[in-house]
């Protein structure tokens, strides 16, 4: 009774269940608007699920999982509450033909010549009935489509009692459909193979103890513990602790921010220093780490503008073929010739080549370090003529480097740098790392420090030989500690005009000097811009909120920058992009912060860097998974190559099928031969389309080789 109640509750009947495998039935799987492949992807994204497959005509779904009762409950809950995005207007939930069915059809076709007429007739009608019923249904509800052509060819052959031809056509249609579905399914699986969590284990507090648990076991309300160097895996609120959090991808600032109890944090940020306890508010599929999975799930069914145009043209050619077949029959009364014509259509190769090529290219891009969110991103990448870069975190690393050491009061720069590095030595902070690295590079001995006190997001207080040393911002020294810094105002303005950040050092209550640091330019940035120029990008624009002098200096170092805009506010970026678009440019925008989201949405292609904020990743069409701008050139090559493959596939589909159609119209091909040639050409075109990503590895290999050469 309990099992029956459970079945009624979920709308799915548990048809069969063994350990780690469950098969359920439901009439809901017949809903023409339910995307069965998307439902499979949703099921396979659940914790513990290894595989999911649907059978529309068997009205069942089989799910293999780890046998965990909690995961079983998640599976049933998903099927009870299938999300709205699994349904698509117009219907995409076509059931795939099974291999046993294909084998049965082939066996019947092969045995037909040896059957007595009394057995061949009913067997052939029975075998051809599904094809004819599908064609009739398509004609009534969708008009003249490829299913109508197939049904007509089978019906013509059956009416003239040519049972072998009818069965052979059915068998070849089945084999072709199976191979087409297999090819597309493999391309889907390639994309699904990229669905990997960025974090596998996390630390949580349970029963007053810190334990390591699987990322998939996190729940809302869990207390997640993050220490120095760790990635924040959830969105939530700090309930305990104190830390410097690197949120450069969110704020656009090079320096970390201080977070403490009551502050909100976003997944993807990195703890630079300290230790915090976070009450999780968003976990699992709601975090940025799971959003990449959703991007890929959606990409399994999205189609670009060029794909839709190809599909529309293919659909328009179907009535032409149908009219030609009927016209030949009316003129010649030759059923065989009409059936030969009706076995040929342009639709299959044209419609199926696009998704196979696009998904293969997306998989190749993913393995090379670029996440493409759907076919439109690939389509647009091939068309762009302008790229707009936000400077911070995109053309620069977001890492600081010491540029100037300026002592005051007669001291040497070595003494000032050693004093600052000694205080900062054990402080895990970008500024501290830059200062210590510079001291190590100069082989300076560091003075022994005592009573070191880290004031998170402000600076360091320490003692050397009984004298207090303060290292930090002007606000920390002047406002908090009472050190007079007015004597370096002019010097500070000069350094800042060069795009530098300032670190103030005081000893015994007096300012000892200033250390200037600058955000480091990406070493590959100049080469990346040159590579993009070589690939047809006519205009490269740089945007920054920095001072004019800083912007011009960086642009000069980069080279290949055609236009610079400085001292911009976040809202100015989107306005500038619209001006460029109004001037006729088809453009991409590359950024990584929350304040870049409006520009990412406004651009024809939004590109987000690997450390980008959640909102930036959500808004972008392209996400770099590796910290290398040259990947943009690889993505451009891949997009251009895919467009070439699609164009050649379209030309081949039209050319080959036109030749077959001409030969069939003149009576030179039988229906069996015509169907064989049509299906063989379709599979050949699909095989060619599957090579769309073949140039990606070579491009990346060349990029890596160039990188090694540059390093030497």
pLDDT of residue 614: 59
pLDDT of residue 190: 55
pLDDT of residue 375: 78
Angle between helical axes of 36-44 and 288-299 (0-180°, round to 10): 150
Angle between helical axes of 69-80 and 36-44 (0-180°, round to 10): 150
Q: What would the pLDDT profile of 322-352 be if each residue is shown by its tens digit? A: 888 888 888 888 888 888 888 887 777 777 7
What amino acid positions are annotated as catalytic residues? 390
Strand 13-18: give its sheet, edge to edge.
Answer: 13-18, 21-25, 60-65, 49-55
pLDDT of residue 96: 62
pLDDT of residue 550: 67
* Among candidate residues 91, 169, 90, the one with its CA nearest the CA of residue 130: 169
Beta bridge partners of 225: 203, 277
Helices and strands per DSSP (H, E), number in the chain: 25, 24
User: C-alpha angle 207/212/215, rounded to 5°?
Assistant: 110
The encoded tokens of residue 160 equal 């003239």
In which residue are the tokens 């050469």 written? 709
Q: What would the pLDDT profile of 262-306 be if each residue is shown by its tens digit? A: 888 877 677 878 889 999 877 755 544 444 445 555 555 566 677
Q: What would the pLDDT profile of 471-499 be if each residue is shown by its tens digit? A: 888 878 888 888 888 888 888 878 877 76
Tell me the C-alpha distance between 371 and 361, whole Å. 11
pLDDT of residue 301: 56
Instruction: List helix spans (H) across 479-622.
Output: 489-497, 525-534, 548-558, 570-582, 597-602, 614-619
Tell me the C-alpha distance between 435 and 458, whole Å. 15
CA distances from 179 to 225, 405, 477, 510, 660 (A): 50, 68, 72, 79, 21
* Among candidate residues 345, 317, 346, the one with its CA nearest the CA of residue 651: 346
Structural domains in the chain, sorted by start: 2-86 (3.30.1370), 201-291 (2.70.150.10), 398-521 (3.40.1110.10)
Tell me the C-alpha distance between 546 and 451, whole Å. 38
Tell me the C-alpha distance between 593 and 611, whole Å. 9
CB 430 within 8 A of CB 400: yes
The encoded tokens of residue 396 equal 């620069």
* Among candidate residues 532, 522, 534, 525, the one with its CA nearest the CA of residue 633: 532
The encoded tokens of residue 351 equal 């419609």
Q: Cβ–Cβ contacts within 10 Å for residue 489, how many?
A: 10
The encoded tokens of residue 522 equal 């990406």
Q: What are phi and psi of 337, to 5 degrees?
A: -65, -40
The pTM assigned to this predicted structure is: 0.62
CA distances from 261 to 28, 236, 238 (A): 48, 11, 5
522-561: burial string, b at 16+ Cβ within 10 Å, e else: bebbbbbbbbbbebebebbbbbbbbbeebbbbbbeebebb
Tell me the C-alpha distance between 352 and 184, whole Å. 8
Residues of the chain with pLDDT under 50: 1-10, 90-93, 195-198, 248-254, 287-293, 697-699, 701-712
Tell me the C-alpha distance between 464 and 101, whole Å. 84
Tell me the C-alpha distance between 384 and 367, whole Å. 23
């Amino acid at each position: 009774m309990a099992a029956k109640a459970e079945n009624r509750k979920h709308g799915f009947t548990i048809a069969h269940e063994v350990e780690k495998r469950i098969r359920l039935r439901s009439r809901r799987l017949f809903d023409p608007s339910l995307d069965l492949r998307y439902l499979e992807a949703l099921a396979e994204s659940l914790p513990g699920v290894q595989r999911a497959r649907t059978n529309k005509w068997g009205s069942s779904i089989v799910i293999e999982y780890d046998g965990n009762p909690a995961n079983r409950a998640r599976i049933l809950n998903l099927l009870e509450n299938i999300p709205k995005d699994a349904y698509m207007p117009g219907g995409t939930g076509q059931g795939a033909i099974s291999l046993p069915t294909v084998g049965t059809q082939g066996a019947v076709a092969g045995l037909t010549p040896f059957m007595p007429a009394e057995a061949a007739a009913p067997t052939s009608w029975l075998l051809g009935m599904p094809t004819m019923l599908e064609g009739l249904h398509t004609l009534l509800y969708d008009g003249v489509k490829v299913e109508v052509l197939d049904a007509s060819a089978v019906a013509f052959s059956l009416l003239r009692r040519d049972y072998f031809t009818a069965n052979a056509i059915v068998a070849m249609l089945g084999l072709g459909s199976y191979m087409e579905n297999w090819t597309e399914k493999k391309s889907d699986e390639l994309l699904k193979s990229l669905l990997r969590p960025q974090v596998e284990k996390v630390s949580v507090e349970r029963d007053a103890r810190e334990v390591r648990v699987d990322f998939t076991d996190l729940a809302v309300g869990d207390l997640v513990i993050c220490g120095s160097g760790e990635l924040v895996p959830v969105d939530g609120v700090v309930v305990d602790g104190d830390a410097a959090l690197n949120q450069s991808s969110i704020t656009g600032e090079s320096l970390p921010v201080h977070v403490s109890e009551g502050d909100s944090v976003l997944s993807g940020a990195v703890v630079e220093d300290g230790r915090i306890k976070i009450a999780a508010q968003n976990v699992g599929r709601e975090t940025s780490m799971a959003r990449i999975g959703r991007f890929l799930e959606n990409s399994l069914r999205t189609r670009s503008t060029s794909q839709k145009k190809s599909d529309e043209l293919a659909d328009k050619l179907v009535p032409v073929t149908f009219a030609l077949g009927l016209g030949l029959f009316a003129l010649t009364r030759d059923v065989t010739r009409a059936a030969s014509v009706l076995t040929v259509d342009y639709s299959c190769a044209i419609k199926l080549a696009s998704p196979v090529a696009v998904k293969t290219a997306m998989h190749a891009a993913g393995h090379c370090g670029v996440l493409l969110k759907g076919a439109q991103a690939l389509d647009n990448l091939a068309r762009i003529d302008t790229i707009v870069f936000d400077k911070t975190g995109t053309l620069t690393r977001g890492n600081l480097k010491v540029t100037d050491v300026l002592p005051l009061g007669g001291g040497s720069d070595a003494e000032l740098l050693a004093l600052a590095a000694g205080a900062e030595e054990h402080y895990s902070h970008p500024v501290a790392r830059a200062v210590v690295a510079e001291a190590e590079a100069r082989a300076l001995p560091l003075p022994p420090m005592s009573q070191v006190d880290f004031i998170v997001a402000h600076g360091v207080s320490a003692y050397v030989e009984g004298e207090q040393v303060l290292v930090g911002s002007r606000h920390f020294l002047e406002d908090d500690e009472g050190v007079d810094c007015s004597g370096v105002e002019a010097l500070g303005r000069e350094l800042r005009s060069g795009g530098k950040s300032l670190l103030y050092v005081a000893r015994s209550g007096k300012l000892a000097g200033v250390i200037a640091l600058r955000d480091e330019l990406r070493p590959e940035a100049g080469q990346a811009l040159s590579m993009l120029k070589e690939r047809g990008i006519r205009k490269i624009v740089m945007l920054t909120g920095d001072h004019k002098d800083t912007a011009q200096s960086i642009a000069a170092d980069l080279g290949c920058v055609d236009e610079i805009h400085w001292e911009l506010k976040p809202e100015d970026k989107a306005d500038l992009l619209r001006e460029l678009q109004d001037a006729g440019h088809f453009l991409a925008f590359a950024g990584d912060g929350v304040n870049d989201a409006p520009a990412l949405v406004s651009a024809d292609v939004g590109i987000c860097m690997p450390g980008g904020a959640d909102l930036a990743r959500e808004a972008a069409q392209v996400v770099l998974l590796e910290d290398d701008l040259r990947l943009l050139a690889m993505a451009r090559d891949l997009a251009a190559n895919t467009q070439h493959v699609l164009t050649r596939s379209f030309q081949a589909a039209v050319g080959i099928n036109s030749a077959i159609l001409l030969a069939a119209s003149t009576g030179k091909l039988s229906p069996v031969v015509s169907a064989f040639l049509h299906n063989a050409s379709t599979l050949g075109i699909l095989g060619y389309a599957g090579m769309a990503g073949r140039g990606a590895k070579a491009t990346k290999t060349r990029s890596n080789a160039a990188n090694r050469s540059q390093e030497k």
